Structure 1
Amino acid sequence: MGFPDQIVRTVELAHPPTKVWAALTTAEGLGSWFGNTATIDLRPGGQARMTWTEGGQVANMRVERVEEPTVFGYTWPINGLPDDDPRRTYVEFTLEPVGAGTRLTVVETGFAQLSEGAYKEAFEGNVGGWKSELGELVEYLDAA
């Protein structure tokens, strides 16, 4: 198809990789900035779940990659598709030490498998979603 398959976002964080890693890979961290509650079995093949109070949304995720403290990846449902649709996107966080802080890059791929209509809703929704969520991550880390 003729549209981008991935979303890439990079943010510079004034916190060490170990602190950022904990925010990304623990139930406490994920439930504080990403969702309202979270569970996670941090191993390849492990399950994770996030819920949002507003709108009653739930995301069931599968942990795919864990290379502490530099790479964390999972697959999750595609926004706008029915709950039983097997298609997923893959999200990977890469942490790179930069001085006393961390450069965090988030890449989400898998949008090219969608029809044009489904693509537009999912891709545009997640572009805005990552902007918002990464802002919440910064706030969470700065407050901790």
Structure 2
Amino acid sequence: MPTNTDRIEKRVLLRAPRDRVWRAISESSQFGAWFGVKFDGPFVPGASIIGSIVPTTVDPEVAKSQKPYEGYRFEFSVDRIEPMRFFSFRWHPFAVDPAVDYSKEPSTLVAFELEEVSGGTMLTVTESGFDQIPLERRAKAFAANEQGWAAQMTLIEKYLAQQAQG
């Protein structure tokens, strides 16, 4: 069990130039391709955007696990965009029950940070704010997103490798 219950952090060395990784995380269509969501517009700081779950184009096994949630809509509020370095948004973690109105709950903050390193680009993804989520769903949301971000690190890595191959 993690000792920090408020924050998830994942890091991955991506064998791609920073500008390529930047486009994969900051352009809604590219983000959606690897993440498994279709957005109704571009990412703009301060704007809310609606995403609909669609199976990822990157990994057939993950796509199969996303299939039951296909079409589920959620709100994604873009927080900050600092080109080539930082992108963040807010959302309601593990908000998968269509009968529940999550809009009254606090959101978590998801931040993507890029650092140029030898051999590629280090991507650090941090999701924080779980301690503010209602107790009755906090542990489940944390566990689901802990696993989810681990999977997403693999998906962005595969996406960038596929893009490099043309």
Question: Normalising by the residue count of structure 2, what TM-score does the alignment of the two structures yield?
Answer: 0.78
1:50-89 equivalent positions in 2, closer than 5 A: 50-53=51-54, 54=67, 55=69, 56-80=71-95, 82-89=101-108
Deviation (angstroms), 1:47: 2.4
Distance 1:121 1:21 in 2: 30
- 8 A Cα contact 1:13 1:103, kept in partner: yes
Q: Identify the range of structure 1 (115-124 vs 65-74) with the bigger mean alpha-carbon deviation.
A: 115-124
- With structure 1 as the length reference, what TM-score do the two structures score? 0.89
Q: Alpha-carbon deviations, 1:93-139, whole Å to 9, x = none?
A: 00000124100000100100124331111100100110111111111
Structure 1 or 2: more strand by fraction: 1
Q: How does 1:24-103 map to 2 (within 5 A)?
A: 24-53=25-54, 54=67, 55=69, 56-80=71-95, 82-103=101-122
Report the Cα distance in structure 1 between the residues aligned to 2:16 and 2:7, rounded to whole angstroms: 26
Post-superposition, which runs of at least 4 consecutive aligned residues in structure 1 deviate over 4 A? Answer: none
* Runs of 5+ consecutive residues of structure 1 not aligned to the other structure: none
CA distance in 1, matches of 2:94, 2:14: 27
Moved more, 19-28 or 104-113: 19-28
Is the deviation greater in 11-20 or in 72-81? 72-81
Q: Give, as a single letter, the amino acid of the residue that structure 1 aligns with 2:76.
A: M
SS at match of 1:94: strand
The amino acid of 1:29's aligned partner reads Q
The residue type paired with residue 147 of structure 2 is G
Question: What is the alpha-carbon root mean square deviation over aligned residues?
Answer: 1.9
